[in-house]
Amino acid sequence: MDAAAPLPNLGVPLPPAPAKRRISLRAFGMLAILGLIVLATVMVTSALLFRGAVQAHLQALEEAHSRYGALQQQRLEAARRGADSAKLEDLDLQLRDAWQQRERQLATTRHYIDGSTVTIASLAWLGITSIGALALLFFSRLASDIAVVRARAQAIVEGDRSPGVPLARSDELGELSQAVNDMALALGKREQELAVERRNVMHQEKLATIGSMAAGVIREIGNPIAAIDGYARAILETRTSAPPPLPQEEDGSDVRPILQETARLIAITREISGLAAAPAAQWQLASINEIVAQTLGVLRYEPRLEDVKVTSELDPQLPAVMGYADRLVQMLSNLVINAADATASLPPHTGRIHIATRQVDGGVELTLDDNGCGMGPEVVARAFEPLFTTKPAGRGTGLGLPLCQSVVRAHGGRIRLDPLDGGGTRATVWLPLDRSEPVHPL
């Protein structure tokens, strides 16, 4: 297989991240700066207002003070001039009134300065403290979220490929966390694809080794078998032509069983020679009925099929499709072996596999039914997942169906598994008739 060939896409594409209302870190920074500007403006405006109000108070105080000073002067003048007591009494009254007014103004000014100072100081304290607390909260959350993303990246480096939980943030860090999780999923999917490819290549190499080994064995045993066959025929001919022929069944020298067995051996060696021939890796016209026959031929000596009755119902009018014949055999072998495995738990001699082909709209359809253990919804949902297997370690790798899927997809076809009513499973493969090029080379 061409190592540079694009890998098959085994899974569904990652779902697009849901659109969220996004507040970026930059926007958050701008908000914080805006908050500081507003606070500073409030402080400056308060200081200016305070200054204006204090000046107005001081002016009123000055006026009260001047009036009191002027009245004091008038009182002194009047006393020196010897004014009458009624005039002096009136001036005293005015003087007391001016003194009280000045004292009131002084108290109001003091009170105003105290109140305003406390208000402005409280306002400044509250503003600075809230902005500081918000900044502290924001940065400590940012630091802990960055630590979470760092830990997740570290876990991915160490092999964790789980989907992970994205940070509940709608800013750049939330997006980064989502991207890191997507990366883990994509990495896991890619690794699974590579595992399937590796197994694919290994399988091909194994087939090639078995093929060349079988070719050697055939050469070695083919000649003696042909010789035995020749001798047996010669003996039979001599016996039957020499009158009177001896009743062979009686003297125990019947050579016909030898001929039957050698004929069987010759057929087997011919089949293995056929298998050992270089695999047809080209994209060519392939008959699915032929593929079925070839697959059953390949699996004739498979121990898992020993106790399973395999029947077929092949449409004789089935048109040929374009495809990689050897890969289709490999795909069908996987399906047959899965079906045989599924029947393993049945009582002896009750396992059944039925293969049928027919022409359907725009393509050919192959169905493979078994009366095995069937598949629960969870197994149906995960069967094509690379490395998913319900078989004990050493019996299944969970790569058979992904491989089947990648072969079928390369042909532009579809494959599905459905539980059958009354137990068992149906595998359905649909291949298009109008495909002149593979979706991707295999």
Ligand X SMILES: Nc1ncnc2c1ncn2[C@@H]1O[C@H](COP(=O)(O)OP(=O)(O)OP(=O)(O)O)[C@@H](O)[C@H]1O
Half-sphere exposure of 399 (CA within 13 A, CB side): 18
> Rounded to whole angstroms, how far apart are CA atoms 208 and 1?
12
Task: Identify which of residues 276 and 401 has a Cβ nearer to Mg ion in the complex.
Answer: 401
> In a 10 Å sphere around its CB, with 0-12 CB exposed, 13-18 middle and 19+ buried, how is residue 205 labelled?
exposed
In whole angstroms, how close is the CB of 334 to ligand X at the nearest point? 6
Task: Identify which of residues 283 and 388 has a Cβ nearer to Mg ion in the complex.
Answer: 388
Binding partner of residue 166 among Mg ion, ligand X, none, CB cut-off 5 to 8 Å per kind: none
| Cβ proximity of 337 and 299 under 8 Å | yes
The residue number whose beta carbon is nearest to ligand X equals: 400
In whole angstroms, how close is the CB of 396 to ligand X at the nearest point? 3
> Rounded to whole angstroms, how far apart are CA atoms 399 and 150?
33
Binding partner of residue 383 among Mg ion, ligand X, none, CB cut-off 5 to 8 Å per kind: ligand X
Helices (H), 242-365: 248-251, 256-276, 288-298, 325-342
In whole angstroms, how close is the CB of 371 to Mg ion at the nearest point? 17
What is the tally of helices (H) and strands (E) in the chain?
A: 9, 7
Binding partner of residue 373 among Mg ion, ligand X, none, CB cut-off 5 to 8 Å per kind: ligand X
Helix axes 325-342, 288-298, angle to 10 degrees: 60
In whole angstroms, how close is the CB of 424 to ligand X at the nearest point? 7
Total site size for Mg ion, rule CB under 5 A: 2
Binds Mg ion by CB under 5 A, chosen from 188, 363, 386, 400: 400
Task: Identify which of residues 286 and 399 has a Cβ nearer to ligand X in the complex.
Answer: 399
| Cβ proximity of 39 and 127 under 8 Å | yes
The CB density around residue 303, as the number of other CB atoms within 10 Å, is: 7
C-alpha distances out from residue 207 to 130, 248, 387, Å: 74, 45, 22
Task: Identify which of residues 10 and 373 has a Cβ nearer to ligand X in the complex.
Answer: 373
Task: Identify which of residues 167 and 375 has a Cβ nearer to ligand X in the complex.
Answer: 375
In whole angstroms, how close is the CB of 303 to ligand X at the nearest point? 14
Question: Given the DSSP bridges, would you call strands 425-432 and 308-313 parallel, antiparallel or unpaired?
Answer: unpaired
Task: Identify which of residues 71 and 342 has a Cβ nearer to ligand X in the complex.
Answer: 342
Of 53-61, 117-125, 177-185, 393-401, the window that binds Mg ion (rule: CB under 5 A) is 393-401
The yes or no reply on residue 338 touching Mg ion (CB under 5 A) is yes
End-to-end CA distance of the chain: 6
Task: Identify which of residues 187 and 379 has a Cβ nearer to ligand X in the complex.
Answer: 379
Nearest one of 293, 288, 331, 328 to 310, comparing CA atoms: 293
Contacts with ligand X by CB under 6 A lie at 334, 338-339, 342, 370, 372-373, 375, 379, 383, 388-391, 396-401, 425
Binding partner of residue 379 among Mg ion, ligand X, none, CB cut-off 5 to 8 Å per kind: ligand X
The CB density around residue 421, as the number of other CB atoms within 10 Å, is: 8
Binding partner of residue 389 among ligand X, Mg ion, none, CB cut-off 5 to 8 Å per kind: ligand X
Q: Which residues bind Mg ion (CB under 5 A)?
A: 338, 400
